Chains A and B, each alone.
Chain A
Amino acid sequence: MEILQVMKGFKMNNILKISYRNLLRNHRRTLLTSSLITLGVVFVLVYTAMSGSFKDYMISQITDSSMGHLQIHKKGFVASVENLPLDKNLNAASIEFIEKILKNSKYVESYSFRIKFGAMFSNFVETTNIRLNAINPDQEFMTLPTLKDRLLNFKGELKKGEIIVPEIISQGMGVKTGDPIVLVANNKSGSVNGVNLKIAGEVERISGPGGRDGYIHIYDAKKVLRIKGVEVSEIVVRLKDVSMLKDAIQELKPILNKLNKKDKPAFEIHTWEKLSPFYNIIKMIDVMNIAIQIILISIVLISILNVMIMSVYERIKEIGTISAMGTPPKTIVKLFLTEGLLLGIFGAIVGGVVSVVIVEILDLIKITYSFGRETGLILSPSLSFNEVLTVGIIVIVISLIASISPALKASKLDPVEALRTN
């Protein structure tokens, strides 16, 4: 048995040797084909890296500085979020129930309580509308680790009696950090109350819901809304690993299963994907990725099929000769499959290496781009080993598939007819 294995080994080595030399026989054509495959691989990988970088940046901006990975509300809150309803807040018992589950979850890293409300913002000269998140700053900054990066002229902390104003309002109203302002809001029962606050900083806008909200301390919100006891509008949750979103939801199922007095679900959980319209753009990017991969597959399929068909036609007499000498049809199939496979492997390896180099260079150059009103965003493309490997495997498998038909044709040639060919 061992001898048989060794013999098969050296036969395979020789098939490789002959296939490799056959490829070199028409080296210009081989170079052209493998360059085409290389180009396709580079195109796909660089596009994947660029779009991936854009996608990752946008996702992390949305989840790490604004929305968190998950949000828990009283049932019906999200449907009427535009009105910022105060009658759909979570009460103390609900919060206690949810907090207990969150604390015991193995997926949850941190969470933050928010009261969301709308108010009138006045700089003593002009008045405008403002949407606010009332937060416990320590909790919020832990749950949204890059929120601080969005803050401008911020003095480091948000204390009671202070407000972080959306950039769009600070610019429009001509106010800056340190300025006093007045906030006037209606509470749940409709009575109006006001509070004097000092500007602690400005917050840059980002795309998506909540991207234009200001921040105040939860203490001040309770004061102006006259909330006694514990009450919040939403709980923002940060997971240890965003890729475990589905498992986390599964684990938090008891929250969803909790019924209110009317035997209807009491709470709702939304993922950032459901809440952010940017998720649709991400879906589109993914569809584009698939479309580009299909183009690559077509390039590989057509170019290898073309080269292999030509190889068979050019070598009919040679195939007749080796067949006459007694080469079994199976070996002839292997010879041609190996030839196609080598072309694919070569294209995939060179393409992979070139792509990694290009992506590294692009990362060093630090390309900036704009998205909507956000300017100066830095694209930092990167490729994971798995992405390169996946594209490589696709190319190699397609090369093999493209070579099957020509290889079978070669193996089925009638040696008498083949030898007659000039």
Chain B
Amino acid sequence: MIEVKNLKKVYKVGELNLTVIHDFSLTIGEGEFISLIGPSGSGKSTVLNMLGCLDTPTSGTLNINNKDISSLNQTELANFRGENIGFIFQSFNLIPVLTVYENIEYPLIMIQNLPENERKIRIENLLKEVGMYDQKDKTPDKISGGQMQRVAIARALVTNPKIVFADEPTANLDSKTAHMIIELLKKIQKEHNTTFIFATHDEKIVSNVDRLITLVDGNITSDERV
């Protein structure tokens, strides 16, 4: 599903070339529940951004669903993300002017152009799945952090993406809510066979994943199935 070969990312800082990722190769299959771990500055977020098609590698190849991502321009990348990838953010990043329902609806209208009846069925099913159906008409400022992350999860899943990237999804949640979110994600992974890739320090997530990839200074130091 995801094939990364000799991926390298170099940032230009003034006159200096700063290599953040050195020769990174990896294969990820369908339905995996993976966590990227490593100390701050190890390149977790950079890897996640490139795998999530938000950033392009300096060299190397990145194939997702047999498509070479490194050759796409900004609009093509945006379209590819809209069709294949979901994102869950640390601070939820819901659109404050839209209701819970409209936030989940957003990618279906603005990106996938789905007709209303189809949208309604999908959104209502997901709302029930994440337990937010009763709150669907509230705006994000009227719900709790845990509820916001549920909405963000529903929004990430509504386009039926093959892969969902989550950067520290539980960092802004209390431990009880974090547990509930992890359970929810695991349930969704099993039911939809979605690949989840986390970048996290959170033990609660790390102890729940099937595969653990450790990064140090832009290199994979271990890749183990747990």
Interface on A for B, CB 8 Å cutoff? 7, 10-11, 14-15, 18, 21-22, 24-25, 317-318, 320-331, 415-416, 419
Please indicate the chain B residues that have their CB under 8 angstroms from the CB of A10 in the complex. Answer: 109, 116
As a 0/1 sequence over residues 115 to 130 of chain B, the CB contacts with chain A under 8 angstroms (1 = contact) are 1100000000000000
Asked if residues B81 and A325 are in contact (CB atoms below 8 Å), the reply is yes
Please indicate the chain A residues that have their CB under 8 angstroms from the CB of B55 in the complex. Answer: 416
Please indicate the chain B residues that have their CB under 8 angstroms from the CB of A7 in the complex. Answer: 113, 115
B111 at the interface (CB under 8 A from A): yes
A21-B98 contact given A324-B81, A327-B110, A328-B78, CB 8 Å threshold: yes
Please indicate the chain A residues that have their CB under 8 angstroms from the CB of B58 in the complex. Answer: none
Asked if residues B85 and A326 are in contact (CB atoms below 8 Å), the reply is yes
A321-B89 contact given A25-B97, A326-B107, CB 8 Å threshold: yes
Asked if residues B111 and A325 are in contact (CB atoms below 8 Å), the reply is yes
Output the residue of B52, B93, B106, B110 with the most chain A CB within 10 A: B110
Asked if residues B98 and A331 are in contact (CB atoms below 8 Å), the reply is no
**CB-contact partner of B110 in A22, A322, A415, A416, under 8 A:** A322
Please indicate the chain B residues that have their CB under 8 angstroms from the CB of A331 in the complex. Answer: 110
Output the residue of A10, A326, A419 with the most chain B CB within 10 A: A326
> Which single residue of chain A is at the shortest CB-CB distance from B97?
A21
Asked if residues B78 and A18 are in contact (CB atoms below 8 Å), the reply is no
> Which single residue of chain A is at the shortest CB-CB distance from B113?
A7
A327-B97 contact given A11-B113, A416-B55, CB 8 Å threshold: no
A179 to B174, CA, bound (A): 108
Chain B interface residue count, CB cutoff 8 Å, equals: 31
Asked if residues B75 and A321 are in contact (CB atoms below 8 Å), the reply is no
Asked if residues A325 and B96 are in contact (CB atoms below 8 Å), the reply is no
Please indicate the chain B residues that have their CB under 8 angstroms from the CB of A317 in the complex. Answer: 93
Given contacts A326-B81, A328-B82, A419-B93, 8 further A-B contacts (CB under 8 A): A7-B115, A21-B98, A22-B97, A321-B87, A322-B95, A325-B82, A326-B85, A327-B82
Asked if residues A18 and B98 are in contact (CB atoms below 8 Å), the reply is yes
B21, chain A: closest CB distance, angstroms: 14
B65 at the interface (CB under 8 A from A): no
Please indicate the chain A residues that have their CB under 8 angstroms from the CB of B155 in the complex. Answer: 325
Asked if residues A416 and B49 are in contact (CB atoms below 8 Å), the reply is yes
B58, chain A: closest CB distance, angstroms: 14
Asked if residues B78 and A326 are in contact (CB atoms below 8 Å), the reply is yes
A11-B109 contact given A318-B93, A416-B55, CB 8 Å threshold: yes
A-B contact pairs, 20 of them (CB 8 A): A7-B115, A10-B109, A11-B109, A18-B98, A21-B98, A25-B96, A318-B93, A320-B93, A321-B89, A323-B78, A324-B52, A325-B87, A325-B106, A326-B111, A326-B159, A327-B110, A328-B111, A330-B75, A331-B110, A416-B54
